[in-house]
Chains A and B, each alone.
Chain A
Amino acid sequence: MFTLFCASSTFVPPLLLAALVDRVPGIFFGLPLMALASLIFAATHHEDPAEIRFAAVHWAVWLGGILGLVLAAVLLLGWFA
C-alpha cells in the first residue's frame, strides 16, 4: 500500500490525490488494515513464503467474513430501528 501511495504521489499531483482519497467512503480504509493484519498474522505463524501467502488469504477470508457479518448485523439493526 505504501508503495502504491509513493508511486501515486510521484505521478499524480498531491492535491488531486487528496481529492480522490477524499471521495472514498471511510469504510474502505479498513480494507488495507484487514490485509495488513492478515499478512502479519500469517507471517508470524509461518516461515515459508508460500505458506505465508496461503495463510494470509486464509486469515483475510476469516477476518473479512466475521467483520462483514458484524457490518451486516449492524446495517440490519439500523434498517429495522
Chain B
Amino acid sequence: MAYARGKQDQASRIVAVSPDDGAVIDLRNPALAALLSWAVPGLGQIYQGRLFKGRLFMGAILGTFLAGMWLGGGKVVYASWKPGDTRWPFVCQAGAGLVALPAVVQSWQLNGVARQPLFGSPFMAPPLVAGQYVSRAYADRLAASDPDIDAEDFFDRPPLKQFRGEQVSHWHRRLGRWFDIGTLYTMLAGMLNVLVIYDAWAGPLGAPTDDDRKAKQERKT
C-alpha cells in the first residue's frame, strides 16, 4: 500500500513507503509508470529506479508469456470476437502488454479491407472460421505452409477465397492439451501483470502488521 499515496512531500514528489524498512519510494509519475509497466512488464519499476523488481517482473512475466506461446505452438494468443469463436482468454492475455498487441493488429487486418494479416503472416492471426473470406495470397500461403490446410479447403470467390472449415478445430486436434496449457500460461502472465501495474502506480501492496514486524525482527536475530 502506498501509505503516502496522494500525499506530496515538499519537493512535490508522489511517494510510497517500503513496508520492509520504511524507506521512501519515489514513484515519479505514477500514471506513466503504470502505463510503462503495462506496455513492458517491469518497465515502470525500472523507470522509478526500482531495478531489482523491474528486472524480476520483466523476466517472470515475459518468460511465462513466451513459455506459454512456445507450449501452445504459437497459436494460443489471438484476438477474435466472431460469434462462435469469441476469444475471452485474450482479455487476460492483453494484460501482458505490447507483447500481445500483434494479435489485435492481426485481427483488424484479417477482418478489414485487406482480408489478410499483416505481411500475410499467420503469426498471432485469429483462426479462420467457416465461410470467412480471405485474400487469395493469404489462402495460397496457408495452403502451402499449414499442414492442416490445402487448396481444397477454400472456395474460389474471385477476387477472394472463402474458407470452408474451422481452423481452430485443426489447432485443437494437433496441439491437444498444449493448447490449453499454453493458454493458461499466457493468461496468468497477463493477469499477474495487473498486480505489477498496480505496484508501479501505487507502490508495494499491504501494510506491515505488528506481527510482520515482530517476525521480521525474529528472523534478523
Which residues of A are in contact with B by a Cβ distance under 8 Å?
1-3, 5, 21, 26, 29, 32-33, 36-37, 39-41, 43-49, 51-52, 54
A11 and B186 CA atoms in complex are apart in Å by 25
A-B CB contacts (within 8 Å), total count: 80
> Which B61-87 residues have a C-beta within 8 angstroms of A?
61-64, 66-67, 70-71
Is B139 an interface position by the 8 A CB rule? Answer: no
Does A49 contact B52, Cβ atoms closer than 8 Å? yes
Does A2 contact B192, Cβ atoms closer than 8 Å? no
Neighbouring A residues of B181 by C-beta, 8 Å? 26, 29
Is B25 an interface position by the 8 A CB rule? Answer: yes
Closest to B180 in A: A26
Instruction: Tell me how many residues of B have a C-beta within 8 Å of chain A.
Output: 37
Does A2 contact B53, Cβ atoms closer than 8 Å? no
Interface SS majority for chain B:
helix
Does A47 contact B20, Cβ atoms closer than 8 Å? yes
Closest to B23 in A: A47
Does A43 contact B67, Cβ atoms closer than 8 Å? no
Chain B 188-218, CB within 8 Å of chain A: the 1/0 string? 1100100110110000111000000000100
Does A45 contact B67, Cβ atoms closer than 8 Å? no
* Residue in A5, A21, A51 whose CB lies within 8 Å of B20: A51
Chain B 98-136, CB within 8 Å of chain A: the 1/0 string? 000000000000000000000000000000000000000
Does B188 contact A36, Cβ atoms closer than 8 Å? yes
Does A43 contact B56, Cβ atoms closer than 8 Å? yes
Query: A1-B63, A2-B63, A47-B50 are known contacts. Are A37 and B188 too (CB-CB below 8 A)?
Result: yes
* Residue in B19, B21, B61, B64 whose CB lies within 8 Å of A32: B64
Query: A2-B63, A5-B67 are known contacts. Are A48 and B205 too (CB-CB below 8 A)?
Result: no
The 10 A-B pairs with the shortest beta carbon distances in the complex, nearest first, are: A2-B63, A48-B20, A47-B18, A40-B192, A44-B199, A44-B195, A45-B206, A51-B20, A29-B181, A45-B205
Is B92 an interface position by the 8 A CB rule? Answer: no
Neighbouring B residues of A45 by C-beta, 8 Å? 19, 204-206
Is B174 an interface position by the 8 A CB rule? Answer: no
The distance from the CB of B48 to the nearest CB of chain A, in whole angstroms, is 11
